[in-house]
Structure 1
Amino acid sequence: MASSPTEKKENTERSPDVIIVDWDGPDDPENPQNWNFKRKWAATTIVSLFTFITPVSSSMIAPASNKVAQTFGETNSVIIAMITSSFVLAFGFGPLFLSPLSEIYGRSRVLQGANLFFLVWNLVCAFAQNETQLIIFRFLAGLGGSAPLGIGGGVLGDTWAAEERGKAIAVYSLAPLMGPVIGPVAGAWIAQLSDWQWVFWSTSIVDAVIQIAGLFYLRETYAPVLLERKAERIRKSLTSDPEKGAHVKEIRTIYDDGSRSWRAIFAKAMTRPFTLLFREPIAQVIAVYMGYIYGIFYLFLTTLPRIFEGVYKQPAGIAGINYVALGIGLTAASQINARYMDRIYIKLKNKSGGIGKPEFRVPSMIIGSLILPIGLFLSGWAAQKQLHWIVVDIGLVFVGAGTILNFQTMQTYVVDCYTLHAASAMAAVSLLRCLAGFGFPLFAPAMYDALGYGVGTSILGIVSIAIGWPAPVIFWRYGEALRRKSKYGSKT
Structure 2
Amino acid sequence: MASSMLAPAVGDIAKEFRASDKAALAGQTSFVCMLGIGPLFLAPMSETFGRRKVFVVNSAMFTLLQIPTALSPNIASFIAFRALSGFFGSVGVANGGGSIFDMFDVHERAPVLGFYLTAPLVAPSIGPLLGSVIVRSLDWRWIFWCMCMLAAFVTTFIYFFLYETNPVAILQARKSELQKKHPDVEYEVEGASDESIPKKIMNASDLTCSPENGTRAVKILTTQPIVLILSSYQALIFASMYSLFATYTDIWSQPPYNFTTIQTGLAFLGPVVGFVTMSTLVILYIDSIYNYVARKNDDDGLPEYRLVFANIGAVLLPISLFMFGWTVEMGLAWPVPLVATVLFGASQVSIFNPVQTYYIDAYAKHAASALAAGAFLRSMIGGVVPLFVGQMCVFPSTSTRRF
User: What is the TM-score with the length of structure 2 in the denominator?
Assistant: 0.91
Aligned equivalents of 2:140 and 2:244: distance in 1?
21
Query: Residue 99 of structure 2: which of 155, 175, 187 is its match?
Result: 155
The one-letter code sitting in structure 2 at the alignment partner of 1:408 is: N
* Secondary structure in 1 matching 2:310: helix
Aligned equivalents of 2:6 and 2:21: distance in 1?
15
Aligned equivalents of 1:231 and 1:422: distance in 2?
25
Query: Is the Cα–Cα contact under 8 Å of residues 298 and 437 in structure 1 kept in the other structure?
Result: yes
The runs of 5 or more residues in structure 1 that have no matched partner are: 1-55, 453-492
Q: What residue in structure 2 maps to residue 188 of structure 1?
A: 132
Q: What residue in structure 1 maps to residue 83 of structure 2?
A: 139
The one-letter code sitting in structure 1 at the alignment partner of 2:73 is: Q
Deviations 1:374-420 (A, max 9, x none): 11011111111111111110110011000111100111011111121
Query: Is the Cα–Cα contact under 8 Å of residues 158 and 419 in structure 1 kept in the other structure?
Result: no
Query: Is the Cα–Cα contact under 8 Å of residues 359 and 413 in structure 1 kept in the other structure?
Result: yes
Alignment of 1:398-417 (within 5 A): 398-417=343-362
Alignment of 1:61-72 (within 5 A): 61-72=6-17
Query: Is the Cα–Cα contact under 8 Å of residues 78 and 442 in structure 1 kept in the other structure?
Result: yes
Distance 1:282 1:233, change over 3 A: farther
Which is greater in Rg? 1
Aligned equivalents of 2:299 and 2:156: distance in 1?
42
Aligned equivalents of 1:68 and 1:318: distance in 2?
20
The one-letter code sitting in structure 1 at the alignment partner of 2:230 is: I
Q: What residue in structure 1 maps to residue 190 of structure 2?
A: 254
Q: What residue in structure 1 maps to residue 274 of structure 2?
A: 329
* Secondary structure in 2 matching 1:421: helix
Query: Is the Cα–Cα contact under 8 Å of residues 51 and 166 in structure 2 kept in the other structure?
Result: yes
Query: Is the Cα–Cα contact under 8 Å of residues 91 and 146 in structure 1 kept in the other structure?
Result: yes
Aligned equivalents of 1:449 and 1:84: distance in 2?
22
The one-letter code sitting in structure 2 at the alignment partner of 1:277 is: L
Aligned equivalents of 1:123 and 1:402: distance in 2?
36
The one-letter code sitting in structure 1 at the alignment partner of 2:360 is: V
Structure 1 position 198, deviation (Å): 1.2
Distance 1:374 1:353, change over 3 A: same
Q: Which has the higher relative contact order, 1 or 2, with Cα contacts under 8 A spaced 6 or more apart?
A: 2
Query: Is the Cα–Cα contact under 8 Å of residues 64 and 190 in structure 1 kept in the other structure?
Result: no
Query: Is the Cα–Cα contact under 8 Å of residues 242 and 386 in structure 2 kept in the other structure?
Result: yes
* Secondary structure in 2 matching 1:57: coil
Between the two proteins, the alignment pairs up a number of residues equal to 386
Query: Residue 365 of structure 2: which of 415, 420, 430 is its match?
Result: 420
Query: Is the Cα–Cα contact under 8 Å of residues 163 and 345 in structure 1 kept in the other structure?
Result: no
Aligned equivalents of 2:138 and 2:151: distance in 1?
20
The runs of 5 or more residues in structure 2 that have no matched partner are: 207-211, 398-403
Q: What residue in structure 1 maps to residue 142 of structure 2?
A: 198
Aligned equivalents of 2:219 and 2:96: distance in 1?
20
Query: Is the Cα–Cα contact under 8 Å of residues 94 and 369 in structure 2 kept in the other structure?
Result: yes
Deviations 1:251-300 (A, max 9, x none): 322324xx644547545232211221222222212221111111111111
Q: Does 1:376 align with 2:312?
A: no
Aligned equivalents of 2:395 and 2:123: distance in 1?
30
Tell me which moved more, 132-141 or 261-270.
261-270
Q: Does 1:295 align with 2:256?
A: no
Structure 1 position 432, deviation (Å): 0.8
Aligned equivalents of 1:109 and 1:163: distance in 2?
28
Query: Is the Cα–Cα contact under 8 Å of residues 103 and 269 in structure 1 kept in the other structure?
Result: no
Aligned equivalents of 2:335 and 2:68: distance in 1?
38
Q: What residue in structure 1 maps to residue 393 of structure 2?
A: 448
Q: What residue in structure 1 maps to residue 164 of structure 2?
A: 220
The one-letter code sitting in structure 1 at the alignment partner of 2:300 is: I
Identity of aligned residues (%): 31
The one-letter code sitting in structure 1 at the alignment partner of 2:288 is: R
Structure 1 position 232, deviation (Å): 2.8
Query: Is the Cα–Cα contact under 8 Å of residues 122 and 204 in structure 1 kept in the other structure?
Result: yes
* Secondary structure in 2 matching 1:64: helix
Query: Residue 314 of structure 1: which of 248, 256, 259 is its match?
Result: 259
Q: Does 1:344 align with 2:289?
A: yes
Q: What residue in structure 1 maps to residue 333 of structure 2?
A: 388
Structure 1 position 62, deviation (Å): 0.4
Q: Does 1:362 align with 2:307?
A: yes
Q: What residue in structure 1 maps to residue 182 of structure 2?
A: 238
Aligned equivalents of 1:370 and 1:382: distance in 2?
19
Aligned equivalents of 1:304 and 1:117: distance in 2?
31
Q: Does 1:173 align with 2:117?
A: yes
Q: Does 1:208 align with 2:152?
A: yes
Tell me which moved more, 328-337 or 221-230.
221-230
The one-letter code sitting in structure 1 at the alignment partner of 2:118 is: L
* Secondary structure in 2 matching 1:388: coil
Aligned equivalents of 2:329 and 2:100: distance in 1?
42
Query: Residue 110 of structure 1: which of 54, 60, 80 is its match?
Result: 54
Aligned equivalents of 2:80 and 2:144: distance in 1?
14
Structure 1 position 335, deviation (Å): 0.8
Q: What residue in structure 2 maps to residue 122 of structure 1?
A: 66
